[in-house]
A and B are shown apart, each in its own frame.
Chain A
Amino acid sequence: MRKFKEFIIEKLILFSGLASIFFVVLIFLFLLKEGLAVFKTVGFFDFLLGKKWYPISEPARLGILPLILGSLLVTLGAALISIPIGVGCAVYIAEVAPLKIKEILKAGIELLAAIPSVVLGFIGMVTLVPWVKHMFKIPTGLTALSGSIMLAFMAMPTIVSIAEDALYSVPKAYKEGALALGATHWQAIYRVIVPAASPGIMAAVMLGLGRVIGETMAVMMITGNAAVIPRSILEPVRTLTATIAAEMGEAVVGSEHYFALFAVGIVLFVISFAINVGADLFLHKENK
């Protein structure tokens, strides 16, 4: 009887384990089925490298290069802002902060993670956008930079909490050894602890960026959504995610536009898959 119970529980857990993979595969297959249909009408390279996105015109122009570059630019900007601050914050929490401040900081960061992105987008729209416009004396504040700053806030909680875990799991003996050899606290952090935790920190950064590139609502509200190839971070951009969100409601099911949006989804899937695999590789390096 007990054996039978064990057997049932084991199978149930196995099923739960496989379910998520099963769903990912299903989603991917669906994306492929709907998305690849667009290549019947548009060439593969015309789609990926085309510079014009006019999906509802006759004939439609379906080039997503401006969208890819828009997504990458916003992500790059967010990375430049969130990585130094996020990693610095993690080091402070893990190594420097007194217990009380540590608790407050951790709670604060968890709270930051809990703010819905539409709220961040709304706050960005009324505060950040006019500020950016004023600060850089540019025609409009709805730019890639505004999106980057807002998304940096969203990436930060992921980066901080995972990087902090990585720093925390560096064996105490490393730090004690460094201090015993006469290193100052800062030298021990900089030369010993951070390098020892670097695979985990890299993974933290990757996962943070994965969140950024998939973010939709906030970028749709504050990046201006103009499908141009951006020449600087102070220009409006249109991201892959915002394009899907803004246009899916209108796309007639089964039309070229509809398939193109699914193909945009495939591109996004591939990018975030690559980022996640990258993060995984770094984590594995750490475990060896």
Chain B
Amino acid sequence: MFNRIVIAALLSFCFGAAYAAESIQIKGSDTIVNLSQSWAERFMEDNPDDFIAVTGGGSGTGIASLISGTCDIANASRTIKEKEIALAKERGINPYEIKVGLDGLAVVVNPKNPVDRLTESQLSDIFTGKISNWKDAGGEDKKIVILSREVNSGTHVYFKEHILRRNDPKSREEFAPSALLMPSSQAIADEVSGNPAAIGYYGMGYISDSQKALKIAKDENSEYASPTIENVMSGKYPISRPLYIYTNGEPKGLVKKFVDFILSEDGQRIVLETDFVPIN
């Protein structure tokens, strides 16, 4: 992933001047930076004259750059906040929301961990620190190492609001102070694969054989489901969220051409190929 970003950055640096008129800057969510890169690559194959540069940094970073006018499209794995809209209006930017896909959030542990299923309330208790030992969640007598994303991550915000706070806007639950805040999803994946006591979360595109994705149920009476594309589409798997892109006003010109491509059948097929869930 890093390589791609670096290459994109280098390319944009080299060709930025030459193709200034026909280029798009995309910035934002690390969750969909790979998906976005795939879209950009395919789009550029079909339209060799256009140039699209993709960088990550987090949903907040993307929206902040859209507001400050340094990118054309902001990728976000959460909806834009009221505060951000107000700030954008102040600067004469009019954020326009387009839903481009769905993402199942996987909760992962090390394959050596015997735990393979949890309910949402157990998850809430683990990540807020109320359950601090694996034996209280059906595992071995081991201290739980909580891994979270940094606060600039849309995944962090989504997980806090929907799992820790169970969608209750009045709730004051927070991640346990002892939670390790990791700079990227890949860092969480690396730590989980080396640490039998760790638990973390990330978009299901990051799941590999070195981590085990837990089956999750809404409550004890519901069915446990694995984070697969079918289960997310059918709604059986409870933790999924919409993915958005934001543009300044309704898309025009090259941005519109690119957005149309994203929403086309080809674009949505790429969504599926990169382990996300298409919107239709």
Contacts and interface: CB of A to CB of B under 8 A. Distances in A.
Given A226-B179, A246-B150, A250-B61, A54 B194 contact: no
A250 B78 CA distance: 13
Contacts of A220: 183
Contact of A140 (B57, B58, B180): B180
6 contacts: A56-B151, A125-B187, A139-B145, A140-B197, A226-B181, A246-B152
A225 B177 contact: no
B187 to A, nearest CB: 8
Interface band, chain A: 20 to 34
Contact of B87 (A228, A238, A249, A252): A252
A123 to B, nearest CB: 14
B256 interface: no
A179 interface: no
Nearest to B153: A250
Contacts, number: 80
B152 A140 contact: no
A278 interface: no
Query: Taking each of B151, B174, B182, B183, which has the highest tally of chain A beta carbons within 10 Å of its own beta carbon?
Result: B151
Interface of A: 52-57, 66, 125, 130, 133, 139-140, 142, 220-221, 224-228, 236, 238, 246-247, 249-255
A140 B144 CA distance: 10
Interface in B6-61: 57-58, 60-61
Given A56-B151, A133-B195, A252-B64, 17 more contacts: A66-B177, A139-B197, A140-B180, A140-B191, A142-B180, A225-B181, A225-B183, A226-B179, A228-B178, A246-B150, A246-B151, A249-B58, A249-B61, A249-B64, A250-B64, A252-B84, A253-B64
Interface in B171-193: 172, 174, 177-183, 187, 190-191
Given A56-B157, A140-B145, A140-B197, A246 B183 contact: yes
A249 B60 contact: yes
A89 B58 CA distance: 43
Contact of B195 (A140, A221, A253): A140
Contact of B83 (A66, A224, A255): A255
Contact of B194 (A130, A224, A254, A255): A130
Nearest to A51: B177
Nearest to B144: A139
B180 A250 contact: no
Interface string B144-180: 1100001110000100000000000000101001111
Interface in B89-146: 142-145
Closest 5 CB pairs between A and B?
A250-B152, A250-B60, A225-B181, A249-B61, A224-B180
B239 interface: no
Contacts of A66: 177
